[in-house]
A and B are shown apart, each in its own frame.
Chain A
Amino acid sequence: MPMTMTQKILAAHAGLESVRAGDLVLANVDMVLGNDITSPVAINEFERLGQKKVFDKEKISLVMDHFVPNKDIKAAEQCKRCRDFAGEMGIVNYYDCGEMGVEHALLPEKGLVTAGDVVIGADSHTCTYGALSAFSTGVGSTDMACGMATGKAWFKVPSAIKFVLTGSLSPWVSGKDVILHIIGKIGVDGALYKSMEFCGEGVSALSMSDRLCMANMAIEAGAKNGIFEYDEKTEEFLRQVGAKPARVYKADPDAEYDEVIHINLSEITPTVAFPHLPENTRTFEDMEEIAIDQVVIGSCTNGRLEDLIAAAEILKGKKVAKGVRTIIIPATQKIYLEAMEMGLLKIFIDAGAAVSTPTCGPCLGGHMGILAKGERAVATTNRNFVGRMGHPESEVYLASPAVAAASAVTGRITHPKEVMV
């Protein structure tokens, strides 16, 4: 039975020779993840199970990132619940204020995920680790509770859409533009219940940062997971972060796909998703002038060092437009420190931006940059649903760090080349 990358990983973790799309399997998991919002619900359920210990102290990660540093008393109590639980259970990978980062930036950086792993996380963007050739997917708190107790999770084996990438990215174009382009093309339910498998020579032209950003937004097309073919760049990345040895699964040449989509990376131009769905994409050829009130650069989608470098390249020696609140949030402490040592933070502060300690903050309308009624933001985040960043009548435009930085300078949604002449 020929299998896709995802199907091979699931078969191996379910102890089966082969699986086919639609099969229900019980698979062993290599990592169970939760954050400060989803873990308290999972801990309640874990207790309801009457469970005294977790299945493996090293295979659970609890990351306090959404409302951290604690934004209010209730948020503080939720974190305390997680902290106490982690202490009681002896959970090794517990990350709190001062050492945390946005979970999906933090886990790869700490080497906690490797190629061939099965990862479940009570956070929809857990699909990010597909960039490292792992099967990873978002689940709910009850799945997390059962995962912590048993080390297992149930899955319906997905069918797949194969994306064959060719060419390489033009200047001012990044992985964010590619994934927005794809979501614009197939829609927010275009890959519902399916895997998005990325392969072809174009993959090796993409940086790990681009791949992490693209896999991160697979969920925005409704996908179960997004996964990239393993190559030298994956190997190099995993070696640098000290991850466990990789298990490489390649799709069979005759594996079945629901659809094969060819994407020439060279043809993609900067792309922006308009409110209120990630599929409402436009390029600069068909965009009217849109004045903005806020810019957010950060999140698990685009808060990595490469993203900050792209923003700094544009903001260097310039000022953000009067009245445009520009908030820049390095995704982890390590990225924050590197950005400081490289002088990026100085560039941002000189330009008139606010730089924050790592947090999800404004990405989900939690804190640190909420929008008022009628306000508009350009954000490098991944969702622009109604009320996502504040008032239900505010608007979020999703874009790359380069577009976001250029827009901060002019006060309207702007192509980077316009401010870089």
Chain B
Amino acid sequence: MNNIKTNVRGKAIKYGDNVDTDVIIPARYLNTSDKKELASHCMEDLDKNFTKIVRVGDLMVAGKNFGCGSSREHAPIAIKESGISLVIAKSFARIFYRNAINIGLPIIECPEAAEEIESGDEVGMDFDSGVIYNFTKNKTYTAAPFPPFIQSIITAGGLINAVKSDMFGER
């Protein structure tokens, strides 16, 4: 399975259900919008080790309702800046979902993959086919592709670029 084409590939770091934005980035650090500083406190109240073990390209895997709570864009920013290349969950809270798309952090709902992947597994994904590969367990999972509208925001590299390229019509 090793010569398969993937857009992202790395080790999985796994959490449970209802991971909320207060544990992703606690409010006490919201007096800054500095990305590096936010990343240095990412997941702190849930997993003190996260910032020590995460490597650029790693994937985050979680249960249902990931990112519930506040609208703080600081949450997907902190995750992205930590080096996480993709978040796979059973489901996402809706504001987190749109924020991640808008800032260009790839996230995908795939209950099966989220259930079976374990921390430490080597995982990759091909965005075009929607196929997720678990190299450690030698398994594949298929996620539903993004709707075209969302795909065009992702392709543009986030909402700001999409608006710049006149996706919203006249300004």
Please list the residues of chain A having a beta carbon within 8 angstroms of any beta carbon in chain B.
24, 26, 37-38, 40-41, 44-45, 48-51, 66-67, 71-72, 74-75, 78, 121-124, 126, 138-143, 145-146, 149-150, 152, 154, 188-189, 192-193, 219, 222, 224, 277, 364-366, 383, 385-388, 392
Contact = CB atoms under 8 A, between A and B. Distances in A.
A194 to B, nearest CB: 9
A41 B33 contact: yes
Given A44-B33, A78-B31, A222 B22 contact: no
B32 interface: yes
Contacts of B164: 49-50
Given A139-B95, A192-B91, A123 B73 contact: no
Contacts of B46: 386
Nearest to A42: B73
Contact of B160 (A26, A49, A124, A387): A49
Nearest to A35: B71
Contacts of A51: 171
Interface stretch (B7-15, B61-69, B124-132): B61-69
Contacts of B27: 66, 364-366, 388
A224 B94 contact: yes
Interface in B63-97: 64-65, 68-74, 76-77, 91, 93-95
Contacts of B33: 40-41, 44, 78
A383 B168 contact: no
B16 to A, nearest CB: 12
Given A150-B163, A392-B45, A24 B147 contact: yes
Nearest to A388: B22
Given A146-B163, A192-B93, A383 B69 contact: yes
Contact of B32 (A26, A74, A222, A366): A74
A143 B70 CA distance: 14
Contact of A75 (B18, B31, B77): B31
A67 B68 CA distance: 22
Interface in B1-57: 18, 20, 22-23, 26-28, 30-33, 45-46
A189 B64 contact: yes
Given A142-B160, A154-B149, A188-B18, A38 B73 contact: yes
Given A78-B31, A142-B160, A149 B149 contact: no
B102 A143 contact: yes
Contacts of B22: 364-365, 383, 385-388
Interface in B126-171: 147, 149-150, 158-160, 163-164, 168-169, 171
B68 A387 contact: no
Contacts of B76: 140
Nearest to B27: A364
Contacts of B77: 41
Contacts of B26: 365, 387
Contacts of A222: 65, 68, 93-94
B49 to A, nearest CB: 14
Contact of B98 (A38, A48, A143, A386): A143
Given A141-B73, A386-B45, 6 more contacts: A38-B72, A142-B160, A143-B98, A143-B159, A189-B65, A387-B26
